[in-house]
Amino acid sequence: MNPAWEELSEAAQQTGSHATSKNRGDRPDLVRRIFKLKVDELMDDLTNKNIFGRVKAHLYSIEWQKRGLPHVHILLWMEHRVDAELVGRIISAEIPDKEKEPRLFETVTTCMIHGPCKGFDESQACCQGKSVNGKDLCVKGFPKLCRDNLLFGNNGYPLYKRRAVGEGGHSFTKKVKGEEATIDNSWVVPYNPYLCLKYNAHINVECSNSIKTIAYVTKYVNKGCDRILFTKSGENDQIVNEVKNYQEARYVNANEATWKIFKFPIHKSHPPVVSLDLHLEGENEVFYNKDALKETINNKVSKDTQLTSFYQIMFPKRISCQSLLP
């Protein structure tokens, strides 16, 4: 979500509100609707127009940060094998030429630059908790090493082409804590030029070529909403409830609540996968009240389950589940 989108400003003016980039919380309904339209258009580009190639399967999940703005995590399984040539053509990690591509340069320098943190502003969250020899390091690995070609690394992510200044790379100056800092390709978050130009937002595009990274990103997308741990304390920090001293709670902001009120999907996947409970015919699990009548219990036992319904769809001529077992 880019709070500086023109659609948001125009919609705010038409409705007489002030939902601008500095005051984006006034109209969460406008923010949600615009972001939903952007997500739908993005998924159409990826899965129907196939701008990266034919997609075999996909899933996405909407997530909100504490400050309220949403972002979407999208995973694509490509139909054909992804090679280095395709990755180099789709993903860029360099600052574009300001003279030749002014619009792309503006979007990349505004939305696709990490920090800078290490050596400039080490108070940022990415530098907290990881240090070597007393020096804070960026958990994202920035600044990256500059290189003249793409190389598939050992951690499951490629080492993208990042030319140094003087060897074909570009740079620009940016104010960091009131001082001018020179930013080069080592601070660029990998992106796709077409998506950056079309959507004018932070869209990080990565290629995952390891089973470990695929398992990680799949788990990350399906992890659910953010949660916090808190404890109840009385006077002098005494625990009030010794049994439930720590409780798990959810933080729901106005934008997330509005998304759910509109009944927009939080998670989508294709093709859909449903886990079927396996059981023999007539031996499926049945839950009932201890005071239930025998007739009620028998009706529940004879009722079709997901597994038996699946077999009825796959095999129109009804056959027993047991006959299909090896």
For 116, which DSSP code?
-
| pLDDT for position 325 | 53
| pLDDT for position 313 | 80
- Contact between 246 and 238 under an 8 Å Cβ cutoff? The reply is no
Question: What percentage of the chain carries pLDDT values higher than 90?
Answer: 37
pTM of the model: 0.77
Lowest-pLDDT range, 160-164, 214-218, 304-308? 214-218
* Res. 117 pLDDT band, cuts 50 70 90: confident
Q: Quick check: 314 pLDDT over 80? A: no
Question: What percentage of the chain carries pLDDT values higher than 70?
Answer: 82
* Res. 283 pLDDT band, cuts 50 70 90: confident
Answer whether the bond into residue 116 is a cis peptide, omega within 30°: yes
The residue type of 194 is Y
| pLDDT for position 238 | 61
For residue range 22-34, list pLDDT tens digits in order. 555 578 888 889 9
| pLDDT for position 131 | 61
Helix H or strand E segment including 265: none
For residue 308, what are its two tokens?
A: 């038996």
- Contact between 11 and 24 under an 8 Å Cβ cutoff? The reply is no
| pLDDT for position 304 | 82
Alpha-carbon gap, residue 159 to 114, rounded angstroms: 16
Pairing of strands 179-183, 172-176: antiparallel
Pairing of strands 131-132, 135-136: antiparallel
Closest to 163 (Cα-Cα) out of 149, 142, 152: 149
For residue range 192-243, list pLDDT tens digits in order. 999 999 999 999 999 987 777 777 777 878 777 666 666 556 566 565 565 5
The length of the chain, given as a count of residues: 326
Alpha-carbon gap, residue 9 to 44, rounded angstroms: 25
Residues 164, 165, 168, 172: what is their CA dihedral angle, to the nearest 10 degrees? 120
Q: Quick check: 129 pLDDT over 60? A: yes
* CA geometry: angle 60, 265, 61, nearest 5 deg: 20
